Amino acid sequence: MADVRTVMAQPGMLDAGMRYELGGLYAQQQIAFTALVQVFVAALVAEFVLLLFLYERFRFPLIIIACSLLSTTAVFTALWITGVDLNVTALMGMTMIIGIGTEMSIFLVSEYVGLAETMPSRQALLEASRNRLRPISMTTLAAILTLLPLAFAIGQGSAIQQPLAIAIIAGLLLQYPLVLLGMPALIGLTSKDKSSA
């Protein structure tokens, strides 16, 4: 499409008053991309509102969403490394990473909030990370192992879902340390209990 636009932009290619539109599969792809971006933004807003109701303070939703958004950078990196094009399927995977990452984050943050009522903030963070290490590890590993055949395009028709699998696996690989290490660090830094955090 970039080559087509370059050619059509050359002087004298179109008569005065004439214009052109790019249709077909390209137009459908652009419509789908726009719709998925809208879904992505709507999911983020809905997630923020739900987390705000759940924790009744701003810092936890902001930290959770920041970590989830940071994990989506792994999607673009993995697609570039593997040479797979960014398409609608990959964008769906990126949207799913936000949900999966939020679920893992809620496990840890909820554990921390409960423990912080009875112990210092730093100790609560360490205990919450220790308690949630196994379930988060099992969830992440199970998802990655399940999607590996699709990521390697093994089997008939798997190439269609390959970008989705690559997106989810890459997002999980970054989300895992973010939830267990990055998030507790951010919570500790923003804790009011500075002496114990």
Asked if the structure places residue 130 within a domain, the reply is yes
Asked if the structure places residue 74 within a domain, the reply is yes
Residue 93 and residue 165: Cα distance in Å, rounded?
Answer: 7
Q: Report which of 100, 64, 62, 94 is spatially closest to residue 79, judged by C-alpha positions.
A: 94
User: Residue 51 CB: number of other CB atoms within 10 A?
Assistant: 22
Asked if the structure places residue 23 within a domain, the reply is no
Residue 75 and residue 182: Cα distance in Å, rounded?
Answer: 18
Domain carrying residue 154: 32-190
Range in 4-18, 53-67, 168-182 with the lowest mean pLDDT:
4-18
Give the pLDDT of residue 62: 92
Angle at 140 between CA 151 and CA 105, to 5 degrees: 130
- Chain CA centroid to CA 168, Å: 8
Asked if the structure places residue 147 within a domain, the reply is yes
The CATH number that applies at residue 172 is: 1.20.1640.10
Q: Look up the pTM and report it.
A: 0.78
Q: Could you read off the pLDDT of 45-85 as tens digits, one per residue? A: 888 999 999 888 889 999 999 988 898 889 999 999 998 88
DSSP code per residue over the chain: -HHHHHHHTSTTSS-TT------HHHHHHHHHHHHHHHHHHHHHHHHHHHHHHHHSSSHHHHHHHHHHHHHTHHHHHHHHHHTPPP-HHHHHHHHHHHHHHHHHHHHHHHHHHHHHTTS-HHHHHHHHHHHHHHHHHHHHHHHHHHHHHHHTT-STTHHHHHHHHHHHHHHHHHHHHIIIIIHHHHHHHH-S-TTT-
Asked if the structure places residue 108 within a domain, the reply is yes
Q: Could you read off the pLDDT of 101-129 as tens digits, one per residue? A: 888 899 899 999 999 889 898 899 999 99
- Is it the case that residue 195 has pLDDT exceeding 60? no
Asked if the structure places residue 6 within a domain, the reply is no
Asked if the structure places residue 8 within a domain, the reply is no
Q: How many domains does the chain have?
A: 1
